[in-house]
Amino acid sequence: MKNLEYLVALHRVNGLGTVRLRTLLNVYQDPKLIWEENPQEFLSMGVPQNVVKALGELKKQINPEQYLESIYKSKIKILTIFDDDYPDLLKQIYDPPIIIYYQGEIGASDKNIAVVGTRKVTGYGKLVTEKFTQGLSQAGLTIVSGLARGVDSYAHQTVVKSDGKTLAVLGGGLNKIFPPENTSLAQEIAQKYGAILTEFPPDYPSLPGNFPARNRIISGLSLGVLVTEAAQDSGSLITANLALEQGREVFAVPGPITSELSTGPMSLIKQGAKLVTDVSEILEELGITNKIQDLRLTSEIELSETEQKILEILLEEKHIDDICRDLNFSAAVVSASLIKMEIKGAVKSLGGGNYLKIC
């Protein structure tokens, strides 16, 4: 857009925010005129005194042209709401970000689905997240998540392993990847598997107050939101509720009723979210029916009578000794069956003699 450097400089002002900046743009039309105006004039437009002061101080500190050039030198791209390739789905929400900073390729927004959940993921949550993410990715959907620890990380990692596409939406600037242990994952995504993106300026830290704003972008970019595992107070439920407000689909995976991390999905289901146990159910709801049969064919697993009985009691993580006791089978029979079932892709060993159903 015209005078992009001034828009980017204004976007750096603490407290100016999307709504206030949009108000100023509606009045002045040109960001350069806003930058060159006496900041005191903005008080009558509802801009607080502390923000007016911050703008005045920033004007003394930076040169807009040099600031924009420093962003480009960091290999960061900029997309504004005025650009033709701004994601259509995101533009439809109540308060779309005026600027998106990104690395990689964002791509079309009409085939995105968010996968979110708890940071304190269990073995069950990890397997469920991987199962659904892999299936959705194989169906041609781009997986959107927040690069956080737990479910988000497993979702992104699964896409990378599946050679799919993913968008990682950050709660801080691109020069401040958080959590730091996901820096290499973020770089890998940007280089080949999609994009990392944010509405926060490059050097902005990942503060707790940033994440609700980040979550509206995750849901805003997506046709729907899938919650795989979460406690009642999980931030992923904020994303799900934002999705409902934005008119998007919400899906939830039921979990063991004994687990606190099943309360989030169950709460969403009670509120009207669609209970899902298979990827095909999500695809059908989204109208992507051409991929359902292919996924069903690849998911069919033939089990013996003994293997089927073992699978039926693996409603949650179980130790091999508990399986033997519950079914009154010998350890040799159960152990041999579990090995065969793992090869077939029906169960997964979690280590220490613990197993979990994955089909």
Could you name the CATH architecture of 305-357? Answer: Orthogonal Bundle (1.10)
Domain limits of the chain? 1-73, 112-298, 305-357
Q: How far is CA 225 from the centre of its chain?
A: 9
Tell me the whole-structure pTM to 2 decimals.
0.82
pLDDT of residue 300: 59
pLDDT of residue 289: 72
Q: What is the pLDDT of residues 251-308, one digit of tens each?
A: 999 988 888 999 999 999 999 999 999 999 999 999 987 655 555 444 557 888 999 9
Q: What is the pLDDT of residues 174-210, one digit of tens each?
A: 999 999 999 999 999 999 999 999 999 999 999 888 9
According to the CATH classification, is domain 112-298 in 3.40.50.450?
Answer: yes
Which CA distances in Å does 280 have to 44, 219, 268? 54, 21, 20
Of the candidate ranges 33-42, 251-260, 324-333, 348-357, the one whose mean pLDDT is the lowest:
348-357
Q: What is the pLDDT of residues 49-102, one digit of tens each?
A: 999 999 999 999 999 999 999 999 999 999 999 999 999 999 999 899 999 999
